[in-house]
Amino acid sequence: MENNGESLHVIMFPWFAFGHISPFIQLSNKLSSHNIKITFLSAPSNIPRISPSLAPHIQILPIQIPPLQGLPPGIESTSEMTPHMAELLKRAVDNMTPQISTLLPQLKPHIIFHDFAHQWLPSIASPLGIKTLFFSVFAAVSSAYLMNPARLLTASGQTPTAGDLKYPPPGFPSGDSSIISLKTFIARDFTYVFENFGGPSVFDRVVACKKNCSAIVIKSCLEMEGPYIKFVETQYGKPVLLAGPVVPDPNPAKLAQRWDEWLNGFSSKSVVFCSFGSETFLKDEQVRELVLGLEMVGLPFLVVLNFQGGEDSEARLRTVLPEGFEERVKEKGRVHTGWVQQQQILAHASVGCFVCHAGFSSITEGLINDCQLVLLPMRGDQYLNSKLVSGDLKAGLEVNRKDEDGSFVKDDLCEAVISVMVRVEEEPGKSVRANQKKWKDFLLDKEIHEKFIRDLVDKLKEMVFA
């Protein structure tokens, strides 16, 4: 990646949420292996968590989040924030323009990969000759269904309602998609992206990023999302570059002894692992239905739960679990609060099923570790990821939910797990298992994924040096 002795220099500038930071880290590592110089920007308190995951030669540069009333100093990622504080953080990021304007001429990058909250970035980078690439950390189906200008056509230029959002926008590749309509509770959740909290809405930010950037980069591939990728390209009339699924490298750290010893007590592929990440929270009644449903399955299980608000999670858990539950399942069931080594747990030989919130990184981790997927999406893009995997790819099962409020009962959860883990010779379990293996093999084909990155590197080189 050199032109007259000049190496390509790329800045990575993700939104201050680890669900966004992680894909930027993974892509940084892939690009840096092709002799691209990477400078990674984040707030100071995030750097200790970011640094161990980055390749050694990637530079991390601290940038300051401007003070804003209501935003406590030193809290610099959404994992530590209330929803209200996260909205304030977007407004604080809008005030970073002077800082970044000063920084860019000093760093002299060729390209900036930026996130949705940086819709102001192209206007200060372009005059300096710097290419701006909007890196969407979400699946292409989310951009195709929700985050495109066609959404305003369905609402005659007004803010779309939940009724509008139940159905795909004009031009959506319906013939190639399993998404015909969505349940009411999902459409209602989607109205959030159009809401104004004292600054541009998420929808306005994303659309501005896509309209004003030099090119759009999507963490996906034609094999998995071809019709949706082509629709996004048509909507914006500019290049859409593909990074591939950006499969994470195996984590070299050993699994903690307590979990390794416990999991070793069960047979191969028999354990159901259930986790919803650090920023997704179930209501108390849904926690109870979840754990009772897993108890009904009859297989060993490990559930990881977190609660919003920074309260004592262990104390809260004791008040939420059904009476007598822990005693009944003590031989083969565990419910844990706090962080766990998700990658290492999924890689353990005894884990065979992953019940998750359908975040795409979690889906990928489940597939590459040969786990059957049971999907229980809770917000935002997770709903569309789940439709993609359970509908288009047919590589997992989504838990049945009530139309109005999205609630589920223990029987719904139990039925989904049993279909892929117990009644494997019946439909739908048989076809899901076959497709799960197909996509697992695809995601583990290093040659294919190395080609995705090589092709992306060639496109970057062409943009800058042609």
To the query of whether residue 312 is one of the catalytic residues in this protein, the response is no
Identified catalytic residue from 20, 110, 357, 449: 20
Note the pLDDT tens digit of each residue in 389-445.
999 999 999 999 999 999 999 999 999 999 999 876 666 557 898 899 999 999 999
To the query of whether residue 110 is one of the catalytic residues in this protein, the response is no
Q: Which residues face 38 on adjacent strands?
A: 10
> 137, 29 in Cβ contact below 8 A?
no
**pTM recorded for the entire structure:** 0.92
Full strand arrangement of the beta sheet holding 131-136: 59-62, 37-42, 9-13, 111-114, 131-136, 215-218, 240-242
Nearest of 15, 76, 21 to residue 53 by alpha carbon? 21
Rounded to whole angstroms, the Cα distance separating 245 from 366 reads: 13
**What is the pLDDT at residue 282?**
87
> 1, 35 in Cβ contact below 8 A?
yes
Identified catalytic residue from 110, 114, 115, 118: 115
Rounded to whole angstroms, the Cα distance separating 27 from 247 reads: 9
**What is the pLDDT at residue 1?**
43
Token pair in block for residue 441:
């093999």
Note the pLDDT tens digit of each residue in 358-384.
998 899 999 999 999 999 999 999 999
**What is the pLDDT at residue 37?**
96
Note the pLDDT tens digit of each residue in 271-325.
999 999 777 788 899 999 999 999 999 999 999 988 776 556 777 788 889 999 9
pLDDT mean over 200-204: 94
Q: Is the pLDDT of residue 4 over 70?
A: no
Average pLDDT, the chain: 92
**What is the pLDDT at residue 404?**
94
- Domains belonging to the chain, first-starting first, are 2-247+445-465 (3.40.50.2000), 257-443 (3.40.50.2000)
Note the pLDDT tens digit of each residue in 71-110.
999 899 998 888 899 999 999 999 999 999 999 999 999 9
Note the pLDDT tens digit of each residue in 149-189.
888 766 666 789 999 999 999 899 988 888 999 999 999 99
